[in-house]
Amino acid sequence: MAVIGFLLVIAGAGAAGFAILGGGEPATVTWHNLTVTTTSIGVFAAGALALLALEAGLLTVRQGSSRGLKRRRELTRLRRAMAEHDARREQAQNARESQPQH
């Protein structure tokens, strides 16, 4: 996995270098009725911002689900501890009731 990650970092750095160093000619981006003329650097910057927004969203979702998982585990642990406490208390009460009175 580390090798694949390292190769992806190299590929990303190469794409960034290519866009920054060789990105002087104009590029036209058309989407439905919207046409934007920019340079290759502008297209690269827009892609980088989109990737940053996507990564921020994924990070937020990951943290939220992790927090929810921790909360569920804590609730389960507390419910189990409460059930054990109740069982011990009931057992002690039954033991007191079953002892003969003097």
Residue 15, Ramachandran bin (φ over 0: left; ψ between -120 and 50: alpha; else beta): alpha
The pTM assigned to this predicted structure is 0.51
Helices (H), the chain: 2-21, 40-98
- How does DSSP classify residue 25? S
pLDDT in tens, 13-49: 777 777 777 666 787 878 889 998 888 777 778 888 8
Number of Cβ within 10 Å of residue 4's Cβ equals 8
% of the chain residues with pLDDT over 90: 20
pLDDT of residue 1: 67
In three-state secondary structure terms, 45 is helix
pLDDT in tens, 39-63: 877 777 888 888 888 888 888 888 8
d(CA 55, CA 100): 70
